[in-house]
Amino acid sequence: MIRRGLRDILLNRWSAFVHDLLWVPLSLFLAYWLRFNLNSIPPEYVPQFINIAMISVPVFAVFFWKIGLYRGMWRFASVPDLVRIIKSVAMGTLFYSLLVGILFRFEGIPRSTLFVFPMILASGLAGPRLLYRVIKDKSISLLKAEGKQTLVIGAGHAGEQVVREFLNCQEYQPVAILDDDPRKFRREVHGVRVYGDLSHIADLVKLLNIDLVLFAIPTASRSTVASVIQVCSEIGVECRTLPTLTERIVSSFEVSDIRPFTLEDLLSREVVQLENEKVATWLKGVNVLVTGAGGSIGSELCRQIALSNPAMLILLEQSEFNLYNIDRELRCNFPDVQVISVLGDIKNRVRVNWVFEKFLPRVVFHAAAYKHVPMVELNPAEGVQNNVHGTRVVAEASDKYGVEKFVLVSTDKAVNPVNIMGASKRVAELFCQNFNELSETIFLTTRFGNVLGSTGSVVPLFEQQIKSGGPITVTHPEINRYFMTTQEAVSLILHAGAIGKGGEIFVLDMGEPVLIRDLAEQMIRIAGLEPGKDIHITYTGLRPGEKLFEEWFHENENLENTPHPKLLLASSRQVEWQWLLHEIEALSKAATFRDVGQIVARLCSVVPEYSSVPLVKKVVND
């Protein structure tokens, strides 16, 4: 079967080649015919006509083949094919004219034919190709009447690609286009009419019996995307979209690329371009350690670091299953990267020191942390031990074994914290920022908000509640959060590590916060359901340690700009080092003995803005 397919391809190419060669003498004859007013060629011109015809055929044969007229298929003839035709005819004409001039000095050759001949030849080569495509397109459009009646949103470059591909397949039938640009109204894209703006979605769906609405505006705002999804949900029509530019391996579109909307589509902002080349240069050929390597942030760190081709990538993780998963993924996708997987707890100083002594990492990304606010609120001793003592163990090992840079992964909940998790992360920030003044190692901090789909985030919970038929539980009607994708968060961490000089707090400009109730409604619509009808939302009240909104900087942290407009910088808060060590020792001791009162007291001492003392009464597991 493969041999037969190859034979057919070769046969089609040779047929096209013969067709094009026949057009060479035919075009020359037509040029003469026009020159002599549609009469026969005078006898005295015939011998020279035969001579130049014999010269032109092999000359053009070489240029046709070399320039690649037979790479494309007639079925998909397009502008690139036309460009190749013009190029081959122009170069062939130039070479053929030189030969004729050298051999015959243009004697007995009407000069006008030298200009008319290439125009006729180019038309003769392009015309049959375009005609063949038109006939095929028409025949397919007649055969594909059973395809999904599709309304395309967007008449730009992406929309044009969609319509063009749909016309070549039987699964979808584009019947209308909508676009918010008034200049495109009542115009056509490959024969499909642009009917108006996006306000006509519901009307066209009913009028044309639309089965699918395909959103093809990559640069659309969040509100536009949400509006289209809402309309489609209300009228009960399927709505899909195209991959983002960052998702595509190539910029071209294929029918198989069509996918359902995701939460990332609704919450996406302008893509933040970070200096990936600087990151790749920084980490290339370096031993890199990632703590918490099996978590949502840690695993993405490993993936992006592996792209930089480090000398060694050391994974430290206390969850056996998570470590197994990321180890297997990295070895499969990055076989040339040396991956070292270490099962261990960051609180175990002996184990951590062994890792540093054995593998000598030069860069450390500390992503290991307990971050689920209600769970840490119920288990404050474990939260403090992991987030504070564990950070200290890894930081001191980094100093002891000569690490060049240590990047702490922190959270917006560390700013004016009202929960144990946020307060413990703030203590970790203070320790690293102040330790930076005493150590040869450069210590940096990165802060960001909620990461879509990460472990413990609200998104997987909402997805599960929607699958089970609801209701979706939201703690408060006015609660809001900042969201970013895992890829964005990790890009921030890597970029901060590349440009940081020591002691800084880096924060990515997160744009506008999202109301959690709006998030819940959007997720319901993405699932093709209607909020309040198919899935209800209930409000349960704020949980222990939860506040209505998050902040990025403390009032005493002087906010500064960086060379990158989307990357912000806050100055570190300096404290007396021996006092800080004493307080952290006392905090660790209180956590060891599970003395919740002392834990809160020490947290308030180190983080005076921490305001969650009444919540100690809710602790049950420590």
Contact 462, 520 (CB under 8 A): yes
Mean pLDDT (whole number) for 11-25: 74
Q: What is the DSSP letter of 104?
A: H
pLDDT attached to residue 206:
87
List the structure tokens of 429. 């920030």
Mean pLDDT (whole number) for 477-495: 80
Strand, coil or helix: what is 560? strand
Distance of CA 256 to the CA centre of its chain: 17
Per-residue pLDDT tens over the stretch 454-476: 665 677 788 888 888 889 898 88
If we measure between CA atoms, which residue out of 45, 42, 34, 25 comes closest to residue 109? 45
Contact 192, 164 (CB under 8 A): no
pLDDT reading at 584 higher than 80:
yes
pLDDT reading at 552 higher than 60:
no
Comparing 283-297, 326-340, 405-419, 478-492, the range with the smallest average pLDDT is 478-492
pLDDT reading at 525 higher than 90:
no
For residue 287, list its beta bridge partners: 312
For helices 320-333 and 296-307, the axis angle rounded to 10 degrees is 20
Quick one: what percent of the chain has pLDDT higher than 70?
Answer: 81
Residue in the structure block whose two tokens are 């034979």: 7
Q: How confident is the model at residue 418 (pLDDT cuts 50, 70, 90)?
A: confident
Q: 338-348: b or e for each residue (b if 16 or more CB lie within 10 Å)?
A: ebbbbebbbbe
Q: H or E segment at 190? A: none
> How far is residue 116's CA from residue 114's CA, in Å, rounded to a whole number?
6
CA atoms within 13 A on the CB side of 398: 33
Contact 77, 129 (CB under 8 A): yes
Per-residue pLDDT tens over the stretch 236-279: 888 888 876 545 444 556 677 788 877 777 765 554 555 556 66
> How far is residue 570's CA from residue 505's CA, in Å, rounded to a whole number?
5
Under 8 Å CB-to-CB from 37, ≥6 apart: which residues?
A: none
Domain 276-618, CATH class in plain words: alpha beta
> How far is residue 313's CA from residue 111's CA, in Å, rounded to a whole number?
72
Contact 544, 589 (CB under 8 A): no
Q: H or E segment at 240? A: strand 238-241
> How far is residue 284's CA from residue 581's CA, in Å, rounded to a whole number?
35
pLDDT attached to residue 9:
41
Per DSSP, the residues of 420-431 read: HHHHHHHHHHHH
Q: How many helices (H) and strands (E) does the chain have?
A: 21, 22
pLDDT attached to residue 434:
93
Name the phi and psi angles at 240, rounded to 5: -135, 175
Contact 407, 450 (CB under 8 A): no
Under 8 Å CB-to-CB from 471, ≥6 apart: which residues?
A: 465, 535, 536, 537, 538
Q: 34-38, 257-261, 290-294, 498-502 — which one is most confidently predicted on average? A: 290-294
Helix, strand and coil percent figures for the chain, each rounded to 5: 50, 15, 35
pLDDT attached to residue 187:
82
Average of per-residue pLDDT values in the chain:
81
- Boundaries of every domain in the chain: 2-140, 145-261, 276-618
Burial of 477 (0-12, 13-18, 19+ CB in 10 A): exposed
* Domains 145-261 and 276-618 in one fold: yes
Per-residue pLDDT tens over the stretch 103-145: 777 777 777 777 788 888 878 777 777 777 666 665 555 444 5
pLDDT reading at 58 higher than 50:
yes
pLDDT attached to residue 139:
53
pLDDT attached to residue 305:
94
Give how far Cα 513 sits from Cα of 374, 519, 555, 570, Å: 21, 11, 19, 20
Q: How confident is the model at residue 618 (pLDDT cuts 50, 70, 90)?
A: low
Distance of CA 556 to the CA centre of its chain: 36
User: Taking the domain 145-261, which CATH number applies?
Assistant: 3.40.50.720
If we measure between CA atoms, which residue out of 491, 486, 479 comes closest to residue 454? 486
> How far is residue 65's CA from residue 53's CA, in Å, rounded to a whole number?
18
> How far is residue 568's CA from residue 560's CA, in Å, rounded to a whole number?
6
pLDDT reading at 169 higher than 70:
yes
> How far is residue 105's CA from residue 254's CA, in Å, rounded to a whole number?
53
pLDDT attached to residue 10:
42
For residue 14, list its beta bridge partners: none
Q: How confident is the model at residue 443 (pLDDT cuts 50, 70, 90)?
A: very high
Between residues 10 and 329, the one the model is more confident about: 329
pLDDT attached to residue 501:
87
For residue 172, list its beta bridge partners: 148
- Which residue stretches of 452-576 are H helix? 458-467, 486-499, 516-526
pLDDT attached to residue 137:
60
pLDDT attached to residue 616:
45
pTM: 0.66
pLDDT attached to residue 316:
97
> How far is residue 583's CA from residue 579's CA, in Å, rounded to a whole number?
6
Mean pLDDT (whole number) for 276-290: 83
Mean pLDDT (whole number) for 368-385: 92
Mean pLDDT (whole number) for 152-167: 84
> How far is residue 492's CA from residue 494's CA, in Å, rounded to a whole number?
6
Distance of CA 145 to the CA centre of its chain: 35
> How far is residue 514's CA from residue 70's CA, in Å, rounded to a whole number?
54
Comparing 54-68, 199-213, 294-308, 377-391, the range with the smallest average pLDDT is 54-68
Burial of 212 (0-12, 13-18, 19+ CB in 10 A): buried
Question: What is the CB neighbour count within 10 angstroms for residue 459?
Answer: 19
Name the phi and psi angles at 324, rounded to 5: -60, -45
Between residues 377 and 164, the one the model is more confident about: 377
Contact 432, 445 (CB under 8 A): yes
